Structure 1
Amino acid sequence: MPNKVIVSCAVTGAIHTPTMSPYLPLTPEQIINEAVSAAEAGAAILHLHARDPADGRPTADSRVFMEFLPQIKERTDAIINITSGGSTRMTLEERLAPPLAAQPEMASLNMGSMNFSIHPAARRIKNWIHAWEKAYVEDTEDSIFRNTFKDIARILMELGEGCGTRFEFECYDVGHLYNLAHFVDDGLVKPPFLIQSIFGILGGIGPDPENVALMRQTANRLFGKDYHWSVLGAGRHQMPLATFGAIMGANVRVGLEDSLYISRGELAKSNADQVRKIRAILSELSVELATPAEARAMLSLKGADAVAF
């Protein structure tokens, strides 16, 4: 087990909708407060999406991102990691617009096209706050989250090579690790890099401990010591798989993008609550949290003074 673990916090995402939790941050002010609180609780990396302040739907409007990015940077030293995935509804041009405008230290990068569905959640909800929500959730049953080799190469070139941004490589299945290996072999991805292995999304690898071990073994075989590993469990699997991953030497990711709950049947009232919970678990395992400065050094980031916000 490492002496220092990087805790990432995904503050709002593009998966959950306002009806699902009253604590999901939607406005720039809410995202600022949630991000800063998560950093104060111990998150070294803040993974950020934007929402339309009017109705909470995911947005790729760079102007909305700029309503919260500078304030978060001013109020915390945490690494700001902007999505390049946006939502499954967005075009690549829409998804790339905010990170290209902001030129952040880090951005997420999905490593393959996939079925990415949350449609079963619609069956459990009878009354929706906003008209857009039901169709947004149900339509994931018949949509593809596109991330072709050409798409990935474009992001690596324009955002990586062009802006000096490094990536949180989001791998939802074993094949995504091999996709990443292809780009390492082509020289478009250089170590050290962060692999975010994701478990429990319908359409991706299942949330079984055996799969966590499989992803770790495969990454070790493909990348040796060139990478840092992180574990993300979706929904109710968040804390169990983060704990299991940490025991195996992983960094961890929590946040309301990934799970709305703090324990069985209890909604998390903030992102910071989840950060504090995983921090307590890591403390019991005698593992310390990496500071933002330590995480920057581990991941060879360009620094907060080199971003465009």
Structure 2
Amino acid sequence: MKSSNRKVIISCAITGATHVPSMSEHLPLTPEQIAAQAIEAAAAGAAIIHLHARDPADGRPTPSPEIYRQFVPVIAAASDAVINITTGGSTKMSMTERLAFPMQAKPEMCSLNMGSMNFSIHDVASRISNWRYDWEEQYLAGMEDRVFRNTFKEIRQILLELGEDGTRFEFECYDVGQLYNLAYFADQGLVKPPFFIQAIFGILGGLGTDPENLTVMRTTADRLFGRENYEFSVLGAGRHQLPFVTMAAIMGGNVRVGLEDSIYLEKGVKAKTSAEQVRKIRRILEELSLEVATPDEARARLGLKGSDQVHF
């Protein structure tokens, strides 16, 4: 069993593809804003920076490699954090679009959703009365009738095409069944430990935010992989962000914060940057006598190829 006093890896997800600009004026939309927030989050203690791109004209999610290249090299030049590029994109993107930049960049790490699922925050649309851009309302409300698709064939494709160049993965698991999907690919020899499992709670369509579910995911991963073969990380969506990641750290896991997962710093107070959330969870961790891992310590534990092997 791993030592309970191992340093905690903080991941920070800067902007995502779920929240829309009308939900928070602080959500980074332009390459300059994304780069600035990522660099600040890394300086605050995030070892891993998880990135999506947005169209700077109106903030909509985009898979454009040209836009990614306006901020990813800037972050890489200003920080030694692990850069983690999404392969999820958004529920409206095709597989070809989602892989466009990762296939060019060959990053140290990419996120990988471990199955198809209903993924929605469509109820939020009814609570917004003033929209900044005309695409947002349809985008949010339309989630009720969209599925995030990642079939076994598509997951295999991502593992083979990106894994060939040494990219490793943040395996995003929204339910217990997705842990079994990961175990299937491990049995096929397509993925090897150490696995970086990101257990996700609070998204409609996935596991809810009952604390017992955290134990279920942890103990199921233990049975499937053996605790010595994986790193456990947790994100809680929305108001559940800090309670859930704190529980994860106490259980010997790692944590993820950032404006992709929650636009709030505390009840009724919006976070101005993702770095505010990083600083807050770092303070909580340190008050629990837990240390924070550096990027190079995270690289060593996750078996990453190193920042000198990417194509930014």
Q: Does 1:135 align with 2:138?
A: yes
Q: CA deviation at 1:92?
A: 0.5
- Tell me which residue corresponds to 2:308: 305
Task: Normalising by structure 2, report the TM-score.
Answer: 0.98
Gaps of 5+ in 2: none
What amino acid is the match of 1:279?
A: R
Q: Does 1:268 align with 2:271?
A: yes
- Tell me which residue corresponds to 1:7: 10
Partner SS for 1:295: helix
Q: CA deviation at 1:284?
A: 1.0
Runs ≥4 residues deviating over 2 A: none
Q: Does 1:25 align with 2:28?
A: yes
Residues 6 and 252 of structure 2 are in contact (CA less than 8 Å); yes or no, is this contact kept in structure 1? no
- Tell me which residue corresponds to 1:293: 296
- Tell me which residue corresponds to 1:177: 179
Residues 67-106 of structure 1: matches in 2 within 5 Å? 67-106=70-109
**Alignment RMSD, CA only?**
0.5
Q: CA deviation at 1:127?
A: 1.2
Residues 31 and 56 of structure 2 are in contact (CA less than 8 Å); yes or no, is this contact kept in structure 1? yes
Q: CA deviation at 1:3?
A: 2.5
The number of residue pairs the alignment matches comes to 308
Partner SS for 2:198: strand
Q: Does 1:126 align with 2:129?
A: yes
- Tell me which residue corresponds to 2:285: 282
Distance 1:219 1:176 in 2: 10
Partner SS for 2:255: strand
Distance 2:49 2:67 in 1: 17
- Tell me which residue corresponds to 2:223: 221
Residues 101-116 of structure 1: matches in 2 within 5 Å? 101-116=104-119
Distance 1:289 1:242 in 2: 14
Partner SS for 1:9: strand
Distance 1:164 1:308 in 2: 12
Deviations along 1:26-73, one digit per CA (max 9) or x if unpaired, are 000001100000000000000000000000000000010011111100
Distance 2:154 2:309 in 1: 25
Distance 1:57 1:81 in 2: 20
Identity of aligned residues (%): 66
What amino acid is the match of 2:262?
A: S
Q: Does 1:207 align with 2:209?
A: yes
Distance 1:285 1:147 in 2: 38
Q: Does 1:39 align with 2:37?
A: no
Deviations along 1:250-281, one digit per CA (max 9) or x if unpaired, are 10000000000000011001110000000001
Distance 1:67 1:102 in 2: 13
Q: CA deviation at 1:297?
A: 0.3
Q: CA deviation at 1:160?
A: 1.1
Residues 226-241 of structure 1: matches in 2 within 5 Å? 226-241=229-244
What amino acid is the match of 1:93?
A: T
Task: Normalising by structure 1, report the TM-score.
Answer: 0.99
Partner SS for 1:168: strand
Partner SS for 2:190: coil
Partner SS for 1:131: coil
Q: CA deviation at 1:2?
A: 3.1
What amino acid is the match of 1:76?
A: S
Q: CA deviation at 1:165?
A: 0.3
- Tell me which residue corresponds to 2:259: 256
Q: CA deviation at 1:208?
A: 1.1
